[in-house]
Each structure stands twice: as structure tokens, then as C-alpha cells.
């Protein structure tokens, strides 16, 4: 279709903005209404321009979120690869994932959007000692082809540590690989999947790419609501993070866990339990048994990882499931990843066997508790002024914050980024795109040391106050009424 002069004007405006850096890759472009006003053209003209840019593979429009710049033509890259992407690739919500990845980059001074344990607490001496033992005594095994299910020694070590059977454990490249394998194994396009809402973005993207239709189950974990979803939609799977939930930090009660398992049994729906924060409680353990431990009908698949307890760069996690499913998942894994690196597996097995890992966990919990206290103190100024609300968690890595005043959240995030502070926007964690999602953001209080954490959060306080001062009305009473007191 031939472009009209006005359509070409809009297209040229976007392309010029891409060239001069006004619009960057994965940047959300102005809405059709906003751009129509700026360029003094009709909204239909902007719609046509965005459609043409999308057909060229330069813009991608995502329902409910807008248009995103996804490629630029430069002197170095004259071919538009984004226009050649498969349906599978286009199913990925890359603006959200790239936003999180960019905000976790090493160039950010205060990466509060990260999801990493304190690396200052990493047990360097014990890890180096375990690696040295492997290199000295087990080098053939560390370098050889290994089973897709993982090194038997590590599977046994994890099984003894958790009181499980090693044949039910499969080693993965982090919990994310385990989640993705389950999605690829169980989900057909069009299948419904129940998710906690908010939820872990990586899990949501894996299931969306497999063709799943997400169903939001709030983190009050109402069993009545869950049963309505099971009756109406007949979902293929329930995905939940019942212990120290990401991002809210909440923990599901034992009574609700038992009720969930009973509903899953009655309606014959398997459950995928993301259990990566279970060991990161503060003080004495107060969390209920995992869904996997409570399950008596082989309904639950459990995923966990050393990434949240040691370091994300180790890329070693595990999946616990019925034996038949472990075999099927191993076959699927072999299509893209024949086996997971053995050196780290054997080193971690040695740490678990020797007790060094348990010793580390005790120190890590104490370190994280102190960092959480630092974060809470640093944000008290905004809390006292009624600008911010969050629940102090009993463990984990995060504070889930709700802004209680009416501000432009997108500009707030951009100004934070300009000042070297990254937070994870609430919209990234939503299965549904409700308006109130944008008033939330997640802070990781464990990714940097106490001094940097305090400085970064003081900067956040100042930026938030500046945005409040720009608003004609300080408080949006409707937003304040969204939740009960003390709940973010």
C-alpha cells in the first residue's frame, strides 16, 4: 500500500528519532494519540504509519502496551532481521525482558532491579577448595559427556540434603531452564495456565512463547477464586511461587497449600512450584513444607536453583518431578542442551556433602536480613510522608513497593535510570495489564552493599519527592483504597 504524504511524515519522524537516539531499541514509542497531537495529523494517519513500520519489521505493536522500536537500519546493519522473526520469537514480550536485562547491566551504579543474592557473602574459600578437589580427583568426569539429567553425585547430594530420591531430580541451567522445559513439555497453543499475579516474568514469557493463555490468580491465594478458574477454563497447569514470593515476598499458609493440592487433585491439574527462595528466610525457619513435600498424588513439579543461594553466574539449578516426567524433560533438554556443565555440578556436590553450603546459608540469611533492615530504614522518609508503601518480608530478596501518589511512573523510572538507579517496574510482573500495575515497582535489596543500597534508595526518595512536587494533587485517594493498610 502506497504511503500518503502525511503517513510518510510520521514514518520519517520515527526513523529520524531512531537515528538520532530519541527513540532507542525496545523503547516504547509515543501513543497514537500523543504522536497525532505532536505532528498535527489524525490518529488514523499515525495508525497507518505504525502499521507500515511494523510491516517493515521496524516496529512491534503489543496489545495493551503500545508500539516498540525493535530494529534500526544503520550503515553497519542494512538488513532488518526483526522482520524475519518466527511466530515463536514474536510471542516473546521482549520490551519487558530487555528492560529488566538493561536495568541489571553492570553499567548501572545502583542495580536495585537485580535478582541476585549478596555476592559479598559468597563463600569464596569453600568454593575454590571444592573446585580444586574436583580438578585433582575428578577431572575426567568434569570434562566428559554427562547425562542430560545431570551429574549423579550432585543429584544424590541434593536428594540427601532435601530428603528426596535422586532419580526424581534433574539438574538444569538455573530454575529458568526447568520452567521453560515444563512449558515446552506440557503446553499446547491455546492452553490456559494459572499464574500468581503478580508473577515471575521469566516464567510468564516461557509459557507465553509456548502458546499459553495466562489466568491471573491474586496473591491473596483465594481458593474460591482458583476453583472458579479451574471450573471455567479447565487450565493445563497451575504455576505458583508459594514461599517468599517474587515479587511480593508473601508466603502461602499451610492450610491454603493443602487446599490448593486438593483442588489440583480434584480437577486433575498439575502444579509447577517455583521454590527458589525457600532457604532464604530471616531468623528461624517459619515457612510451611513445600507443595512437593505435601503432595501425595504426584501432581507437583518443583524447581529451585543455587543462583539465589550462591551466585547467578554458576547457572546450576534443579527440578524435582515424578520419574516419568524427568525422563521426558531430559529428552526435550537434549534438543538444545545435551548436558549441564559438570565442573560446577561436582564442586557444588562437594560443598553440599561437606556441610560448607549449609554454613554459607546461615551467614547469607544474616547478611540479607541486615540488608533488608538497611533498605527499610532508607525508605522510611517516603513511607512517613505517605508516598510509598511496602510489606517488610520475612525473607527473600525483594521489597514490593506501591507508590501512593499520582505521578507519571514512566518518567519516574526514566529519571531514576538517569541517576544510576534501576528498579523493576511492576508492569513486568503482571499477567494482566491492569492500570494499577504501573503504580508498583520491585527493589532488590541484596544486589549491592549496605552503603550503596542506602545511597541508591536515598536517591529514589529524592526523585519520588520531586515528582510529587510537580503534581497538582499530591494523593490519589482511589489508589490508596486499593489495598488494606500495610499491604503493598
**pLDDT over threshold 60, residue 474:** no
232-256 average pLDDT score: 97
Q: Kindly state whether residues 64 and 157 are assigned to the same domain.
A: no
d(CA 79, CA 71): 10
Q: What is the CATH number of the domain that holds 195?
A: 3.40.640.10
**pLDDT over threshold 90, residue 103:** no
DSSP string, 86-147: -HHHHTS-HHHHHHHHHHTSTT-SEETT-----GGG--HHHHHHHHHHHHHH-HHHHHS---
Q: Is residue 94 one of the residues assigned to a domain?
A: no
150, 339 in Cβ contact below 8 A?
Answer: yes
| pLDDT above 90 as % of the chain | 64
**pLDDT over threshold 50, residue 478:** no
Q: Kindly state whether residues 254 and 216 are assigned to the same domain.
A: yes
Q: Kindly state whether residues 212 and 328 are assigned to the same domain.
A: yes
State CA 312 to chain mean position distance: 13
DSSP string, 271-313: EEEE-TTTT-BSSS--PPPPHHHH-SSS-EEEEEESTTTT-GG
State CA 485 to chain mean position distance: 26
Q: Which strand (E) or helix (H) includes residue 216?
A: strand 213-218
214, 431 in Cβ contact below 8 A?
Answer: yes
Q: Which strand (E) or helix (H) includes residue 172?
A: strand 169-172
Q: Kindly state whether residues 203 and 133 are assigned to the same domain.
A: yes
Of 97, 94, 96, 91, the C-alpha closest to 70 is 94
- Angle (CA) 413-208-446 rounded to 5° is 40
State the CB neighbour count (10 A cutoff) for residue 482.
12
Grid coordinates representing 287 are 515457612
311, 116 in Cβ contact below 8 A?
Answer: yes
DSSP string, 371-384: HHHHHHHHHHHHHH
Give the end of a domain, one of 303, 334, 357: 357
d(CA 36, CA 185): 45
- The pLDDT of residue 485 is 34
- The pLDDT of residue 486 is 39
Higher pLDDT, 316 or 66: 316
Q: What is the CATH number of the domain that holds 53?
A: 1.10.10.10
Q: Is residue 204 one of the residues assigned to a domain?
A: yes
Q: Kindly state whether residues 107 and 149 are assigned to the same domain.
A: no
Q: Kindly state whether residues 233 and 134 are assigned to the same domain.
A: yes
Q: Is residue 91 one of the residues assigned to a domain?
A: no
- The pLDDT of residue 204 is 93
Q: Kindly state whether residues 372 and 334 are assigned to the same domain.
A: no
Q: Is residue 90 one of the residues assigned to a domain?
A: no
Q: What is the CATH number of the domain that holds 377?
A: 3.90.1150.10
Confidence of residue 165 (pLDDT cuts 50, 70, 90): very high
d(CA 6, CA 32): 14
**The sheet that has 440-444: what strands, in order across it?**
388-390, 398-403, 440-444, 424-425
Q: Kindly state whether residues 431 and 388 are assigned to the same domain.
A: yes
- The pLDDT of residue 263 is 98
353, 138 in Cβ contact below 8 A?
Answer: no
- The pLDDT of residue 81 is 67
Give the end of a domain, one of 332, 357, 382: 357
Number of Cα atoms under 13 Å in the Cβ half of residue 268: 0
Q: Kindly state whether residues 352 and 431 are assigned to the same domain.
A: no
Give the end of a domain, one of 333, 357, 381: 357
The number of distinct structural domains making up the chain is: 3
Q: Are strands 424-425 and 440-444 parallel, antiparallel or unpaired?
A: antiparallel
Collect all residues with Cβ–Cβ distance below 8 Å to 392 and sequence separation of at least 6. 372, 376, 399
Grid coordinates representing 383 are 513511607
Strands (DSSP E) contained in 310-466 are 317-320, 388-390, 398-403, 421-422, 424-425, 440-444
State the average pLDDT for the chain: 88
pLDDT tens-digit readout, 51-93: 888 877 788 776 556 788 875 555 566 666 666 666 666 655 5
Collect all residues with Cβ–Cβ distance below 8 Å to 366 and sequence separation of at least 6. none
- The pLDDT of residue 436 is 47
DSSP string, 8-74: HHHHHHHHHHHHHTSS-TTPBPPPHHHHHHHHT--HHHHHHHHHHHHHTTSEEEETTTEEEE-----
Number of Cα atoms under 13 Å in the Cβ half of residue 211: 11
Query: How far apart, in Å, are the Cα atoms of 407 and each of 89, 142, 329, 463?
Result: 34, 54, 46, 11
**pLDDT over threshold 90, residue 240:** yes
d(CA 150, CA 167): 10
Confidence of residue 34 (pLDDT cuts 50, 70, 90): confident
For residue 358, give the 3-state DSSP assignment.
helix
d(CA 182, CA 47): 38
Q: Is residue 93 one of the residues assigned to a domain?
A: no
Q: Kindly state whether residues 240 and 321 are assigned to the same domain.
A: yes
Range of the domain at 460: 101-115+360-480
Q: Is residue 223 one of the residues assigned to a domain?
A: yes
**pLDDT over threshold 90, residue 302:** yes
Confidence of residue 96 (pLDDT cuts 50, 70, 90): low
Q: Kindly state whether residues 231 and 341 are assigned to the same domain.
A: yes
**pLDDT over threshold 70, residue 141:** yes
- The pLDDT of residue 91 is 58
Q: Is residue 486 one of the residues assigned to a domain?
A: no
Q: Is residue 488 one of the residues assigned to a domain?
A: no
Q: Kindly state whether residues 239 and 349 are assigned to the same domain.
A: yes
236, 191 in Cβ contact below 8 A?
Answer: yes
Amino acid at each position: 500500500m502506497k504511503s500518503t504524504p502525511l503517513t510518510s511524515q510520521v514514518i520519517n519522524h520515527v526513523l529520524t528519532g531512531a537515528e538520532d537516539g530519541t527513540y532507542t531499541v525496545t523503547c516504547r514509542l509515543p501513543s497514537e494519540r500523543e504522536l497525532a497531537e505532536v505532528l498535527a495529523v489524525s490518529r488514523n494517519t499515525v495508525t497507518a504509519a505504525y502499521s507500515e513500520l511494523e510491516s517493515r519489521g521496524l516496529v512491534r505493536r503489543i496489545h495493551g502496551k503500545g508500539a516498540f522500536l525493535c530494529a534500526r537500519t544503520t550503515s553497519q546493519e542494512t538488513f532488518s532481521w526483526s522482520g524475519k522473526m518466527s511466530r515463536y520469537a514474536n510471542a516473546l514480550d521482549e520490551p519487558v525482558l530487555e528492560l529488566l536485562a538493561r536495568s541489571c547491566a553492570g553499567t548501572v551504579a545502583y542495580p536495585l532491579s537485580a535478582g541476585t543474592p549478596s555476592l559479598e557473602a559468597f563463600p569464596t574459600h569453600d568454593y575454590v577448595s571444592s573446585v580444586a578437589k574436583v580438578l585433582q580427583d575428578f577431572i575426567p568426569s568434569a570434562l566428559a559427556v554427562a547425562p542430560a539429567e545431570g551429574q549423579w553425585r550432585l543429584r544424590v547430594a541434593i536428594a540427601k540434603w532435601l530428603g528426596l530420591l535422586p532419580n526424581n531430580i534433574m539438574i538444569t541451567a538455573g530454575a529458568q531452564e526447568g520452567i521453560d522445559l515444563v512449558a515446552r513439555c506440557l503446553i499446547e497453543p491455546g492452553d490456559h495456565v494459572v499464574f500468581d499475579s503478580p508473577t515471575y516474568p521469566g516464567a510468564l514469557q516461557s509459557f507465553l512463547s509456548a502458546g499459553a493463555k495466562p489466568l491471573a490468580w491474586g496473591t491473596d491465594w483465594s481458593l474460591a477464586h482458583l476453583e472458579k478458574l479451574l471450573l471455567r477454563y479447565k487450565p493445563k497447569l497451575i504455576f505458583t511461587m508459594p514461599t517468599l514470593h517474587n515479587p511480593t515476598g508473601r508466603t502461602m499458609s499451610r492450610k491454603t497449600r493443602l487446599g490448593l493440592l486438593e483442588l489440583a487433585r480434584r480437577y486433575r491439574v498439575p502444579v509447577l512450584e517455583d521454590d527458589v527462595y525457600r532457604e532464604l528466610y530471616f531468623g528461624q525457619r517459619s515457612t510451611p513444607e513445600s507443595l512437593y513435600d505435601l503432595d501425595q498424588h504426584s501432581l507437583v513439579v518443583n524447581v529451585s536453583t543455587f543462583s539465589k543461594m550462591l551466585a547467578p553466574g554458576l547457572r546450576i539449578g534443579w527440578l524435582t518431578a515424578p520419574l516419568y516426567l524427568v525422563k521426558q524433560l531430559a529428552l526435550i533438554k537434549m534438543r538444545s542442551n545435551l548436558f549441564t556443565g559438570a565442573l560446577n555440578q561436582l564442586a557444588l556436590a562437594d560443598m553440599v556433602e561437606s556441610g560448607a553450603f549449609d554454613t554459607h546459608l546461615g551467614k547469607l540469611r544474616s547478611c540479607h536480613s541486615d540488608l533488608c533492615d538497611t533498605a527499610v530504614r532508607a525508605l522510611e522518609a517516603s513511607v512517613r510522608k505517605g508516598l510509598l508503601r511496602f510489606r517488610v518480608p520475612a525473607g527473600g530478596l525483594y521489597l514490593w513497593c506501591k507508590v501512593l501518589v499520582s505521578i507519571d511512573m514512566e518518567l519516574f523510572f526514566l529519571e531514576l535510570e538517569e541517576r544510576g538507579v534501576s528498579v523493576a517496574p511492576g508492569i513486568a510482573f503482571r499477567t494482566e495489564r491492569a492500570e494499577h500495575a504501573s503504580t508498583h515497582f520491585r527493589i532488590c535489596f541484596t544486589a549491592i552493599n549496605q552503603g550503596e543500597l542506602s545511597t541508591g534508595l536515598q536517591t529514589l526518595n529524592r526523585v519520588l519527592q520531586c515528582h510529587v512536587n510537580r503534581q497538582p494533587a499530591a494523593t490519589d485517594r482511589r489508589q490508596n483504597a486499593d489495598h488494606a493498610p500495610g499491604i503493598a
